[in-house]
Structure 1
Amino acid sequence: MPVFISTSLRSSVVSRLRAAGCVFAEDEARILLAAASTPAELAAMVRARADGRPLEHVVGWAEFAGLRIAVDPGVFVPRRRSEFLAAAATALTGPPRGPGAVVLDLCCGSGALGAAVAAGAAHPVELHAADIDTDAVRCARRNLVGTGAHVHQGDLFAALPAALRGRIDILIANVPYVPTGDLALLPPEARLHEARPALDGGADGLDVLRRVVAQASAWLAPGGALLFETSERQVSAALAVARAAGLTAAAGRNEDLDATVVTATPR
C-alpha cells in the first residue's frame, strides 16, 4: 500500500467519489488508493473517475472470476454477471470433451471469458478467441498470454481459420444484446467509454445472435455446444432464435448475479 495514504486522504477520496455519484464509493476508493503510486497519480485517477470514466479503465484492470483482467480504454469491461457464462462453459470442459477440448471465445472483448475457462478447466483446453475490434484483440492477447490461446481479429466466424470448422467443442458467444433504442439508457460509463459495437444488438438486441446461431452448427464439433448470455426479458425471444436455426436450446438463471445463459446444441 502506498505510504502516502492517511485516514483523511481516504475520507477525502470517498467524499469526492460519492459526490460524483459513485454508488460504491468506499470500495472504489480502496481500489484507487491501492493502484496509485504517488499523490499526483491518485489525484488524476480520482478526477478521471469523478468525470465518469469506468473505474476499470482508470486503474487498467477488472476483477473477473478470481482473475485480474487487463482492460484498456475503450474496451468492453467484463461484467460480474458473465461469471455465470464462464462457469457454465467451464463445466463442459471435462469428459467426454477433455482434455484438449476446443474452446472458442467469440466476441471476446478483453478475453476475460476465455481466460476464466482456461484457468478453471479440469484439463488443458485448446483456446481460441476472436473479436472485430483492434483494441479488444490487443487487450485479449495480453490477458491470454500463458494459456496457449490463438487470438484472431475479424467479423465473427470470418476471423477464424478454416481448420476450426467442425472442431469447436464449446462456443462461447457473449454477443452484444442491448437494443439500439436502449443504448441511451445505459450508465454513462458504458455509453460514453465502451465501443458501441460491443453493446449494440440491433433493434431487438438479437441481431448479432442471429448471425452467430445461423453458422454455429457448421463450426461445432459433434456433441458441441453454443453458450451465450442474454437478458431475462429477452430470453424467450433468444430461445426462439436459437431453435429457429435448428438448435436445441435451454436457459439457465443465476439470481445472485442477475444472469441468464442459454446453452444450445445442434439437433
Structure 2
Amino acid sequence: MSDVLSGDGVVERLRAAGCVFAEEEAELLRAAAGGPAALDRMVERRSAGLPLEHVVGWAEFAGLRVEVDPGVFVPRRRTEFLIGHAVERARPGAVCVDLCCGSGAAGAVLLDRVEGAEVHASDIEPAAVRCARRNVESRGGRVHEGDLFAPLPPELRGRVEVLVANVPYVPTGDIGLLPPEARDHEPLVTLDGGPDGLDVLRRVAAEAPEWLAPGGGLLVETSERQAERAAEAVAGHGLEPRILRCEELYATVLLATRPG
C-alpha cells in the first residue's frame, strides 16, 4: 500500500488501468479519501472501471458540486449547454421541471441560478430519486418518483415555463459501443432510447404541450444525427422546434416552444 500513498503510485496504477487523465484523477482521489486504506480502496475501484464520479461521490456540473451515487447517471459536461439555455429562458420565479432528472443536476442549477424558481424533478429510478432529493430538495425544489410526467403535481399543467428533459437517446443497437463506464455502471433505462433513440423523446413530446405554459419551452439533448427527426417529432405535437449546437462541447439541443 505504501506506493499507493505516493503521488507516483496512484498515478501509475490509474495509468495502468487506462485512465487518460491519471494525474488529475489522482489528486481528486487523494482529496476524497479519508486515509490510506480508503485511498487504496478508491484507487482499486477506479482501476476496475467504476466512474470517477461514483468513486468520489460527486461531479462538477455548471460550477456546482453535485452528489452522484453508484448506479446513478453521471451528469455530462456537454449537458451544461442545455442547462445554460434553460437558465437563460427562466425568468425570476419561473416554474421549471426536470424530467429524467438522474442526480438532479439540472434542477439544482436552475434553483441556484434562477431567483425564486419553483423546480420539480422526476425520475423512474429509485436510486436516482434518492440522490436527486439531496441535490434538489436541499436547495428548495421537489423530487417525485415515477415515469416522466406521471408523478408531477397536476396543478403544474399549463404552467411550466422551462421543461428540461434529458431523456435517454442512445439507439438500442449502439449501447454496446458505449464506454464501459457508462455501459457497465449506469442504469440501462438512462441510456437506451429504443430502436432509433427517440422513443422517450416522442413520449415527452406527446404530453409536453399540456404541461407547458404559452411560450414555455421544452429543452432536450439529442445527437447531431438525430436532431432533424427529433424536431419533426415535437413539431407533430404543435411545438415549434429549433436546433441549437455547441461545437466546443459537442452538444446538440432541441428547443421546442409552445406557441404563445
TM-score category of the 2 structures, normalised to the smaller one: over 0.9
Q: Is the 8 A contact 2:111 2:141 kept in 1?
A: no
Deviation at 1:266, TM superposition (A): 2.1
Post-superposition Cα deviations, 1:213-243, rounded to whole Å, max 9, x if no partner, equal: 0010000111111011001121111111111
Q: Please give the TM-score of this superposition, normalised by the length of structure 2.
A: 0.96
SS in 1 for 2:184: helix
Unpaired stretches in structure 2, ≥5 consecutive residues:
none
After TM superposition, give the deviation of residue 111 of structure 1 in Å. 0.3
Structure 2 match to 1:20: 17
Q: Residue 138 of structure 2: SS of its match in structure 1? A: coil
May I ask how many residue pairs the two structures share in their alignment? Answer: 259
Task: Provide the rounded CA distance (Å) in 2 between the counterparts of 1:231 and 1:33.
Answer: 35
Provide TM-score, normalisation by structure 1.
0.94
Please say if 1:228 is aligned against 2:225.
no
Alignment of 1:1-267 (within 5 A): 9-94=6-91, 99-121=92-114, 123-267=115-259
Question: What is the alpha-carbon distance in structure 2 between the residues aligned to residue 60 and residue 41 of structure 1?
Answer: 13
Q: Residues of 2 paired with 1:41 and 1:120: CA distance? A: 35
Give the deviation of 1:146 after TM superposition. Answer: 3.4
User: CA RMSD for the aligned pairs?
Assistant: 1.6
User: Between the two proteins, what is the percent identity of the paired residues?
Assistant: 61
The CA distance in 1 between the partners of 2:23 and 2:170, in whole Å, is: 29
Q: Match for 1:19: what amino acid? A: A
Aligned-partner SS, 2:59: strand
Offset, 1:23: 1.0
Call closer, same or farther: CA 1:44–1:7 in 2, change over 3 Å: closer
Q: Does the 8 A contact of 1:127 with 1:147 survive in 2?
A: no
**What's the offset of the Cα at 1:135?**
0.5
Distance in 1 between residues matched to 2:27 and 2:250, nearest whole Å? 25
Structure 1 stretches lacking a partner, 5+ long: none
Task: State the distance in 2 between where 1:119 and 1:6 align.
Answer: 41
Q: CA deviation at 1:93?
A: 1.2
Give the distance between the partners of 1:266 and 1:86, measured in 2 at CA.
Answer: 19
Which secondary structure state, in structure 2, belongs to the residue aligned with residue 160 of structure 1?
A: coil
